[in-house]
Amino acid sequence: MTAGWTIGQLAKAVDGNVPTVRYYERLKLLSPSTRRPLRYRVYEEE
C-alpha cells in the first residue's frame, strides 16, 4: 500500500471538504502524487 493521504483525509486535515480539493485540482493548484489501483487519489506532503 502506498503511503500518503486520500482525498478525504487531506480535506479533513485542512478543515475543508472533498469538492474543494477537487476544485483546486481543476485549477492545477494541487495534484495527487499517485493513484491507487481503484483510482483513489493519494497526496504526499511536499
**Strands in 1-45 per DSSP E:** 34-35, 41-42
pTM of the model: 0.73
| The pLDDT value given to residue 1 | 46
Domain residue extents for the chain = 7-42
Short-list 26, 19, 1, CA closest to 11 = 19
Rounded to an integer, what distance in angstroms lies between the CA atom of residue 2 and that of residue 29? 22
Cell 483525509 found at: 9
Kindly report, residue by residue over 10-26, the tens digit of the pLDDT.
999 999 999 999 999 89
Neighbours of 22 (CB within 10 A): 14
